[in-house]
Amino acid sequence: MQSAYVVDGMLCRTHQFHLPLDYSQPEKDTITVFAREVVAKEKQEQDLPWLVYLQGGPGFPSPRPDANAGWLKRALQQYRVLLLDQRGTGNSQVVSAQTLAGQSVEVQVAYLSQFRADNIVRDAEAIRKQLGIAQWSLLGQSFGGFCILHYLSYYPQSLRRAYVTGGIPPLTRHADEVYQATYQRVLDKNAAFFAQFPQAQSLCRQIADHLLQHDVRLPNGQRFTVEQFQLIGINLGRSGGGLGLYHMLEEAFVEVDGKPALSYSFLNAMLAEQSYQTNPIYAILHEAIYCQQNASDWSAHRVRAEYPQCSYTPGQSFNFTGEMVYPWMFDQLDTLKPLKAAADILAAKSDWPQLYDPAQLEKNIVPVAAAVYVEDMYVEFDYSRETLSQLANARAWMTNEYEHNGLRADGERILDRLIQLADEQEAVMMQSSAL
């Protein structure tokens, strides 16, 4: 059912689409995919071009428009925006431990195999056709940029422009190469964090030692371990994340009956950090976003052995990890435990289809503008540059002003800069075609 409402001068309309689960068998099972149309209220009757927002992740929904601010404010000056809840997320037919419970492992594996970038893009194409839109533009953050590169590879005729922030993927590199690079970025961020907050190293070692010596439970009853604690290093790749992390560390301990104990507020914050619990696609398919005719085979777990400083031993320095997924998470995190067998099978799956067509990208005629963050902890800068060198008609703003979450931190400025770059590239293309 479609609904409409107004918030902060924006008219929002909801849409639901019934689409094939498996596009190779469209006559079989269908899923529901949700999208929210947003337009400036005073422009609702105008024939505006469309801009589709593709969220990062994988496994997270589009943002909910609660204020005419940030990148959305800039977009609404000239676009009608479609916020797509990618299949399996948000108000789309959701993938969770609840919805997968009771299904056999074989059914879980077959189902989850359909939630990569290729089918997200197929969904977008089906929605475009149902809405009767000839062409539209895309804005992709992080994994959303990965989806855009797939879109450019296989459906370029449907696109007017593409804007990418922190999301230019390697086209052919194996997941092992990705993690060999990102572990080094993580260690760089650790070094910077502990240099800025000298007391943090001592606090982290106290917490880690306490976890090794005691059976500490999170508010959901799950045992909290050193490995789980290390995962919160994911915050080091976001602007302001280091300061927020340090403040959490400062408040970690309270005294109970004359002995130190980890506070409820700290443990509750640690549970809230485990987004894998509520968004299992993020854990199950995180490595699969790099796989093309090969298996990840728990890449981050294997590559971690090359970086012993990422494994804590009492008496040695402590380091956080980053945006990595490990098989032990399916033994320790409560809502992932029922999905362990399926996750192991998907990690061994080696027949994932191709995600990108380098030949098509080399002759791309869709103007592309990308914000590439030099110190990005999540997406390797050198690999982004490598891909951009193979992508025709692309302009990049390479900057160290922002971390990976630049679009959230200063979205209005960033999108405005990308629109300018795309305008310039389009002018160059038109001039070339006129010669």
CATH number at residue 68: 3.40.50.1820
Q: Exposed, middle or buried: residue 429 (CB in 10 Å: 0-12, 13-18, 19+)? A: middle
Mean pLDDT, 10 residues at a time, the chain of 435 residues: 91 98 95 98 97 97 97 98 98 95 94 98 98 98 98 98 98 97 97 97 98 98 98 96 96 95 97 95 97 98 97 96 97 96 98 98 98 97 98 97 96 98 94 77
Provide the pLDDT for residue 1: 62
Domain stops at, among 315, 348, 381: 348
Is 199 in the same domain as 303? yes
Q: Is 309 exposed, middle or buried (0-12, 13-18, 19+ CB in 10 A)?
A: middle
The tokens for 327 are 């098989």
Alpha carbon distance 52, 60 (integer Å)? 15
> Is residue 30 within 8 Å of residue 21, measured between CB atoms?
yes
Residue 159 has phi, psi (to 5 degrees) of: -115, 140
Q: Could you tell me if 187 and 322 lie in one domain?
A: yes
Q: Are residues 9 and 127 in the same domain?
A: yes
Q: Based on the fold, state whether residues 220 and 309 are members of the same structural domain.
A: yes
Query: What predicted TM-score, i.e. pTM, was given to this entire model?
Result: 0.96
Which residues are marked as active site? Answer: 142, 351, 404
Query: What per-residue confidence (pLDDT) applies to 434?
Result: 76
Last residue of a domain, one of 324, 348, 372: 348
By C-alpha distance, which of 358, 431, 420 is closest to 388? 358
Shared domain for 79 and 179, answered yes or no, is: no
- Number of domain units in the chain: 2
Q: Give, for 159, the enclosing helix (H) or strand (E).
A: strand 159-165
Residues 6+ apart with CB under 8 A from 299: 174, 175, 176, 178, 179, 287, 290
- pLDDT attached to residue 433: 76
Are 412 and 274 members of one domain? no
Is residue 396 helix, strand or coil? strand
What are the tokens at 325? Answer: 């997924």
Q: Which domain range does residue 267 map to?
A: 175-348
Domain C-terminal end among 348, 375, 391: 348
Sign of CA dihedral 73, 75, 76, 77: positive
* Domain match, 125 and 179 both: no
Give yes or no: residues 429 and 343 share one domain.
Answer: no
What is the rounded CA–CA span in Å between residue 146 and residue 57?
10
For residues 254 and 199, membership in a common domain is answered with yes
